[in-house]
Amino acid sequence: MIRFETNKAVAVGEAMIEMAETGDNTYRRGFAGDTFNTAWHMSQIPNLGLSVGFVTKVGVDTVSSEFIAGMRADGLDISFVGRDPGREMGLYMIELYGTERSFHYWREASAARRLADDKDWLTQSLKGAGLVHVSGITLAVLCPAARGRLVSVLAAARARGARVSFDPNVRPRLWASPEETRQAIKAMLSVTDIALPSFEDEAALWGDTTPEVTIQRIHTMGVAEIVVKNGAAAVTSWDGEQLVEVPCKSVVGIRDTSGAGDAFNAGYLAARLAGHTPVDAVASGQKISAPVLQHFGARIPKGQVPSLVRSADLRDAR
């Protein structure tokens, strides 16, 4: 079973200004982004002794400054949030259709597209990390050369003892073609220890017929620990020895599915860093993600985290 050398987690990726629909053509402004959502939820879990940082680039405008101040206030390590005077944060809007959603993006000038331009800076940002979390969106917003630098830096971090987790989180319109997507994901999986795919994405991109097929395919690429999310269906987990299905409890009062997978990743990875088994970590991920479905936007209200953690029974098991 995978072990971690330190309790420091670092997520790498893009954070954006989020305009989340709250009904009656009213929107609430916030900040979100898949790896940021995961890092933020991890950082709000008390009593685990985790250090959680976010590596990205933003602008020098007042909104970017507000984002950084919010992360600092919420306890994230912001040491490697770079400022780019020529760019700013991207923006996206969530449009709801019942409980499902579609997204509209404005991210061409996003500073996060340059987060891997400086290899030395990126290398320094991962020093001392026990876990580095990356997503397919992180890869997609980078140019091919920067993508290659990121994979190279991750390989070096692994050589120093870090573990790498990866959620493919496939967004087809961010990629030039399915073939480009597959090649980039293959390269990323070559430096991945924990894969956290969603079956719907894997079926669409690779033609997988079951979560078990997804696990078999990813395992052949050398990934030791694989967890396949599947909407309201059971989560299928492989820890290198045991294949387990963990049913999902039904969730009432669903308002918005945005960010649920990111919150699952947070609960799972936090539990693993704290010494829980993969099966117990799946249950923690499910409990952390369920309330996200009951709120508008990709993150639950900060004040609800302590009671949520108690219900998930997340504690330091090391």
Domain harbouring 162, CATH code: 3.40.1190.20
> Which of 213, 205, 230, 39 minimizes the C-alpha distance to 138?
39
Which has the minimum average pLDDT: 79-93, 218-232, 246-260, 267-281? 246-260
Query: In what order do the strands lie in the sheet containing 131-135?
Result: 81-83, 51-58, 8-12, 131-135, 163-167, 194-195, 225-228, 235-238, 243-246
Q: Would 1 be classed as within a structural domain?
A: no
Q: Would 136 be classed as within a structural domain?
A: yes
- Phi/psi for 200 (5° steps) reads -55, -45
Q: Would 318 be classed as within a structural domain?
A: no
pLDDT reading at 66 higher than 60: yes
Question: 280 vs 171, 246, 267, CA distance in Å?
Answer: 29, 10, 10
Give the contacts of 137 (CB within 8 A, at least 6 positions apart): 13, 14, 33, 34, 35, 169, 171, 174
Q: Would 276 be classed as within a structural domain?
A: yes
The per-residue pLDDT for 286 is 85
Residues forming the active site: 262
Q: Would 59 be classed as within a structural domain?
A: yes
Number of domains in the chain: 1
Residue predicted with more confidence, 116 or 92:
116
The per-residue pLDDT for 48 is 79
Read off the pLDDT band of 249 (50, 70, 90): confident
The per-residue pLDDT for 250 is 65
Residue whose pair of structure tokens reads 């020895």 in the numeric block: 241
Read off the pLDDT band of 28 (50, 70, 90): confident
Range(s) of the domain holding residue 187? 8-312
Cα-to-chain-centroid distance, residue 252 = 24
The per-residue pLDDT for 210 is 97
Residue predicted with more confidence, 259 or 216:
216
